[in-house]
Structure 1
Amino acid sequence: MNSLFLFAHAVQDLLPLEVAITFGLSLFILSWVRPRRIVALPQTGRRTATLVWAGVAGSLLVVVVATAVSAIAVSTNDMSGFDGWWRRPAPLFAATLVVAAAALALRRIPLPALGERSIVPRRPWCAFASRTLLWILGILAALLALTSVWQIAIATTAPKDGPFFGNVPDYSSLPIYMAFNSGYGYLSGAGWPNHLATLVALALAAAVFFAVLRTDANRPLFTRSSSPSVRSERELTARLVTFILLGGLITTLGAVWMYTGSSGQALVGLDEQWVSDDQAYPRILVAGGYDAIARPMNLVGYALQGGGVAFLLRLSVDTARAALATRRSRSAPAAEYETSTTGPRR
């Protein structure tokens, strides 16, 4: 038992839970309780190759970014009080770049000539997107926006002589502090220097998502194209694009909640009782303004960050599985034709 404890402690030192891949890899393994693929791909064409690239390499890129920035956060101290302003929205920004790159690749697919285009009414941007996924995406985006706006709204400046509690960075005249227990002191970690970049990344992701879905929904069709096949390939495209952004959004929301939850858990001890010449413990502990929700927010943040990484890992693997299944389905008719014309090979 002691050796098992030492092994677990060594693993935690090597891969702390704050690093995104640690919890994410565990949840990814658990996800195989349900082995069914979460994505499918169109049967043929350059669209399929683009979606495979986005689903496999793009998802892994977001995982690498999330792991790298969370590892930096663990291994370094926040000296300014807003060092992590770019790290928390980095997964969402990376997912947005992947979606934008995939959209540019789709735009390079040749369009039908003017005389070969089918005349169809203009579709809304969400014509091929799953309503359920859009609701989930919207709720998570609203939670991220509300958290960031709330943290900006409660921020204030602080006098240079404090008093300061919790993680005390170098003094800054910027509004990065929140009042501790109605002005008793100050905690760092709030304000626009910490959370404005998250709102910018969220707005950019929403704009790119809207533009990509609207452009693909109204892409010209060949007159000989069948409506079911076109609808199927565009629904699959919208689903994969939504999944990539969803993974980045979940991971970023988790990082933000981990940070805000940790910042709100500061406790100040009063009325110390000395039990020896060099040891004392406080009789009264004073908590901050949102201590009641800080701990749950921090724990849910761990789960969300790990869940986002696990989801992206599963998306990458399932996209590769879908590509293999598509390749096999394309080769199956050729094999059947060869067997029917020449007879089975012996």
Structure 2
Amino acid sequence: MPDLFTSPLASALWRLDGWQMLGALFTMPWVSLVVAAVIACGICVFPGRRVQRESRMRLGAATAGGVVARYSREHRTIGLTAIGVVVVFLADNLITGYVLDLNGVISWWRYAMPVFTASVGIGLLLAIVATLGSTPPERPVAVPRRTWLTFSPRAGTAGAALAVLALTATTVLAGLASSNINGGPYVFLEIEINNEQIDPLRPWFYGWAYGIPVLICTAVLLAVMVAALHASAVRPFLRPETVAAEQRERRDVATAITRTATSALLLSLAGAWRFIADAGSVVGLTVQRDGGSDSYTAFWRYGEIAGVGGGLAPLLEIAAFVLLFLVIAQLYPRDHGARTGTEAESPADSEAV
């Protein structure tokens, strides 16, 4: 990796003014990660969050044996999935940006990778819920019919739906705007030079070669997310006295699933918006001729919209990382609450026996 203080990027940053430097810094996902970590830490130490954690711990202490173990593996799985999304996303940016020379290589996996990673993790969670987490009830409980929306957070579900729509619309519109050369892959954007008999500019673009893998992974993610939410909601409760605790656990699991899926979609969307903005920012062409050169002005008609999207990309990354950190943060309180519950139950159980 190049030295941070001697690299061309660092030298360029020092020549920029304050706002330009800030904008240049936020073109790097590492900066979004640091900002998101600060925000997530602030949310976790907020008094309301502490009260919520203490309430969960008290509920865990009052819960009969077996409930904590039944759901702890699910929280660990979705927490590790969130960690995996962060690690894979950063590793991909590090390897493709500093280690490998991908000039001229269609790295179609880059924008699908966050969604694919989340799909694998949530798919593993679905397998755990369908097998280890769906044991027969000890005493059947009569409850109303449940669906995948029963324990899903309304705001989170709406946010995930908006992320899906935004990513799908961006991918389809960009694919339609893309072009190819001689039947090759759709990885170019043609920018015409007005009133000149010159071949159009063809910068690399977020075309179908990148978009189709994203659409496929998005469809898979939606399928496994809905299936996991449904499987978690419809399984029977253990006993009548555990219904309240299990409902809380299932709401937490559903919230974590929705946050993880939404964050993966936002990371892919942010990358797509950056790519589109970079391609649409081409504004000129210089042609060298004998005895001089000629300059021409070229612009994409949607270039301003693409520029706004590129400016919003860091905000999407920050929101995605915050959601992932909140999912990861549930691991420690969950384990602590489980130990408290076990310790609190043991004396009471021994007395009852």
TM-score between both structures, scaled by the size of structure 1: 0.77
Cα distance change, pair 271–187 in 1 and its aligned pair in 2 (3 A): closer
Match of 1:208 in 2: 224
Q: Give the Å deviation of 1:89.
A: 1.5
2:10 alignment counterpart: 9
Among all aligned residue pairs of Structure 1 and Structure 2, give the percentage whose two residues are the same amino acid. 16
CA distance in 2, matches of 1:231, 1:259: 42
For residues 10-159 of structure 1, the aligned pairs below 5 Å read 18-34=27-43, 35-36=45-46, 37=49, 43=60, 44-75=67-98, 76-80=100-104, 83-109=106-132, 111-113=134-136, 116-158=139-181
Match of 2:187 among 176, 185, 191: 176
Tell me which amino acid in the other structure corresponds to 1:207: A
Match of 2:257 in 1: 241
Measure the CA separation in 2 of the matches of 1:73 and 1:335.
56
The Cα shift of 1:60 comes to: 1.2
- Alignment partner of 2:190: what SS? strand
Of 124-133 and 322-331, the range deviating more from structure 2: 322-331
Aligned to 2:336: 324
CA–CA separation in structure 1 for the residues paired with 2:347 and 2:139: 33
- Asked whether the 8 Å contact 1:18–1:70 carries over to 2, the reply is no
Question: What's the offset of the Cα at 1:261?
Answer: 1.6
SS in 2 for 1:177: coil
> What is the CA–CA distance in structure 2 between the aligned matches of 1:111 and 1:318, rounded to whole Å?
22
- 2:74–2:125 Cα contact (<8 Å) kept: yes
Q: Using the TM superposition, give the Cα deviation of residue 219 of structure 1 relative to its aligned residue in structure 2, in angstroms.
A: 0.7
Amino acid at match of 1:251: L
> Quick one: which amino acid aligns to residue 77 of structure 2?
A
Contact 1:255 1:302 in 2 (8 A): no
Q: Is the 8 A contact 2:137 2:237 kept in 1?
A: no
The two structures, once aligned, show a CA RMSD in angstroms of 3.8
The aligned counterpart of 1:228 is: 244
CA deviations 1:98-145 (Å, max 9, x no partner) are 111122122232645488433444322211111111001100110000
Equivalent position of 1:165 in the other structure: none
CA distance in 1 between partners of 2:33 and 2:147 (Å): 35
| Structure 1 residues 134 and 230: CA distance shift in structure 2, 3 A | same
What is the match of residue 167 of structure 1?
Answer: none
Q: Secondary structure at the match of 2:240?
A: coil
d(CA) in 2 for partners of 1:74, 1:114: 52
Give the letter aligned to residue 27 of structure 1: A
Q: Does residue 263 of the first structure (1) align with residue 279 of the second (2)?
A: yes
Return the structure number with greater helix share: 2
Displacement of 1:311: 3.1
Shift of residue 31 of structure 1?
3.4
Letter of the 1:201 partner, please give it: C
Q: Distance in 2 between matches of 1:249 and 1:30?
A: 20
Report the alpha carbon displacement of residue 23 of structure 1 after superposing the two structures with TM: 2.1
Asked if structure 1 preserves the Cα contact closer than 8 Å seen for 2:137 and 2:239, the reply is no
Q: Which residue of structure 2 aligns with residue 343 of structure 1?
A: none
How far apart are residue 248 of structure 1 and its match?
1.5
Shift of 1:26: 2.6
The counterpart of 1:287, out of the listed 278, 282, 299, is: 299
Question: SS at the partner of 2:202?
Answer: strand
> Unmatched 5+ residue regions in structure 2?
15-23, 61-66, 194-198
Residues 1:123 and 1:63: Cα distance change in structure 2 (over 3 Å): same
Q: Distance in 2 between matches of 1:78 and 1:267?
A: 24
Do the aligned residues in 1 keep the contact of 2:68 with 2:338 (CA within 8 Å)? no
Equivalent of 1:315, from 310, 320, 327? 327
Distance 2:176 2:102 in 1: 21
Give the distance between the partners of 1:206 and 1:180, measured in 2 at CA: 35
Instruction: Report the CA distance between 1:154 and its aligned residue.
Output: 1.3
- Offset of residue 325 of structure 1: 3.9
Query: Which structure carries more strand by proportion?
Result: 1
Asked if the contact 2:280/2:302 (under 8 Å) is kept, the reply is: yes
Structure 2 counterpart of 1:9, which letter?
A: A
Measure how far apart 1:332 and its partner are.
Answer: 5.0
